Amino acid sequence: MSPYSLMILLLCLSSAAYYLGKKKAFAVSADVGGARQLHSRPTYYGALAARWCGIPALILFAGWLGLEDHIITGMVVSELPETLQNLPADRINLLVNDIQNMVTGNIVSREVDDVMRAAADHYRHLQNISSAALAVLVLAVGIGGMLWVRSRIVPSLRARNHVERIIRYLLIFCSTIAIFTTIGIVLSVLYEAIRFFHAVPVTEFLFGLKWSPQMAIRADQVGSSGAFGAIPVFAGTAMISAIAMLVAVPIGLMSAIYMSEYADRRFRDAAKPLMEILAGIPTVVYGFFAALIVAPFIRDAGTTIGLDVSSESALAAGLVMGIMIIPFVSSLSDDIINAVPQALRDGAYGLGATQSETIKQVVLPAALPGIVGGVLLAISRAIGETMIVVMAAGLAANLTANPLATMTTVTVQIVTLLVGDQEFDSPKTLAAFALGLVLFIVTLLLNVIALHVVRKYREQYE
């Protein structure tokens, strides 16, 4: 039986368990004076039966599928002739790969001999046994669980508490998935980054001024020595993010102030959704907007006033990134300004403060921590932004303070280092992980600070 039909069968079985459990609950309650005498509502007894039917069977199912391959492979290998078993481990791996390819009908890398054919047959045979055994076991566990719960249904069974506990475990499980994924990603990046730091010292990476991630394949190749000083890359990220924030923070903040303090409701109702459309544009669209319209425009404008602007400039990327972030800043600030209690504004107006005095001296100072938090979140967004800079900022790692020059960012370098076929034992590729690690740490710090600031602000008016 295929895993899919088994799953569907299991679902049907769980539904059946639900009805049986519920029916049993009604049946046992009839003896003691109706469903009101049950500890929990009848549906909880059904739910309990369904869960005991489904969950253990599912766990068994998942565990089986996880281990099946490993066990079958081990059994096939142990059946191979002596001569083959004494091969080194990587050769055996290749052999097993071939056997598996034969079983699934893929292309095989060597001559097919009788030994292999026998092994493949054996493999297929074991697979069949395994899937049959799995089906039997899963159904047995499911039915067993259902019957076990059903036999235990008495009016005093605290079914609701049991069901709620199971649901709570489920919730805990779901909430930890994100955490474990994060830990997993961090560890994998960290592991590769450490490999990189074996080849290139940390200090050279963090403080070196030249970025040229080439590695020679042969010793006599031109440009055989790579340079992995990441300062120009970080500088590019900092420059472009700074330009973006210079665009986004004033425009976003001022539009938030207008929206929340001055605009009448009709304008706000119309304008806010329009601004949020800006946030919904895919970054790749911003990317070609930057590369095809903004960058040439800046170059032409620069040429007319006698400036030498490269066709891929930090300015163009930064400007467009800033526009992308405007709705982010404005809607966060808008929320925070709106959260300032009306009582504070009334207090200021009651003293004869004008609207602008009230906004500048009472509302904004009260909202400032929250706004700072929002801006920090926006910065970490800008630092991590990839698509716009890939398309508009360029690849050359120039260490310059001139926004009209081509610059590159951490994210662009990661993309270029990892796109295409890469070998994972050269510092060139591993450098991407080191860059990613630094990027991760920076944005993590910014986010932690920002969230802390925002939370502190929220507590102020409780």
Residue 320 near residue 294, CB atoms below 8 Å = yes
Distance CA 282, CA 279 (A): 8
Shortest distance (Å) from residue 262 CB to other proteins: 12
The CA distance from 119 to 363, in Å, is: 77
Provide the minimum distance between the beta carbon of 331 and other proteins in the complex, in angstroms, as a whole number: 22
Q: How far is the CB of 374 from other proteins (least distance, A)?
A: 18
Residue from 26, 19, 14, 16 nearest 154 by CA:
26
Q: How far is the CB of 311 from other proteins (least distance, A)?
A: 49
Q: Which positions lie near other proteins, rule CB under 8 A?
A: 264-265, 341-354, 357, 361-362, 365-366, 460
Q: Are 409 and 384 in contact (CB under 8 A)?
A: no
CB 316 within 8 A of CB 294: yes
**Which tokens sit at 1?**
């039986």
- What phi and psi, each to the nearest 5 degrees, are found at residue 321? -65, -40
The nearer residue to other proteins, 191 or 461, going by C-beta atoms, is 461
Between residues 128 and 355, which has the closer beta carbon with respect to other proteins? 355
Residue 366 CB, nearest approach to other proteins (Å): 5
What are residue 211's phi and psi, to 5 degrees? -115, 115
> Which of 185/351 has CB closer to other proteins?
351
- Measured from the CB of residue 264, what is the shortest distance to other proteins in angstroms? 7
Which parts of 153-201 fold into alpha helices (H)? Answer: 159-199
Tokens of 111: 């001559």
C-beta closer to other proteins: residue 343 or 451: 343
CA distance 246 to 240: 10
Strand, helix or coil for residue 227: strand
Of 198 and 265, which has the nearer Cβ to other proteins? 265
| Nearest distance in Å: CB 377, other proteins | 22
Q: For the CA atoms of 385, 390, 393, 398, what is the dihedral angle to 10 degrees? A: 100
- Name the minimum Å distance from CB 359 to other proteins: 13
**3-state DSSP percent of the chain in helix, strand and coil, to 5:** 80, 0, 20
- Cβ atoms of 273 and 251 within 8 Å: the answer is no
Nearer to other proteins, 75 or 368 (CB): 368
Determine the number of helices (DSSP H) and then strands (DSSP E) in the chain.
18, 2
Using the minimum distance from each CB to other proteins, give the nearer residue, 169 or 461: 461
- How far apart CA 178 and CA 347 sit, in angstroms, is 45
In the complex, minimum distance from the CB of residue 446 to other proteins, in angstroms, rounded to a whole number: 25
Q: Is the CB of 38 or the CB of 348 nearer to other proteins?
A: 348
Closer to other proteins by Cβ: residue 294 or 359: 359
Least distance in angstroms from the C-beta of 376 to other proteins? 20
For the stretch 162-182, what's the b/e string if a residue is b when 16 or more beta carbons lie within 10 angstroms of its beta carbon? Answer: bbeeeeeeeeeeeeeeeeeee
Task: Quote the tokens at residue 237.
Answer: 């990220």
Which is closer to other proteins, CB of 303 or CB of 460?
460
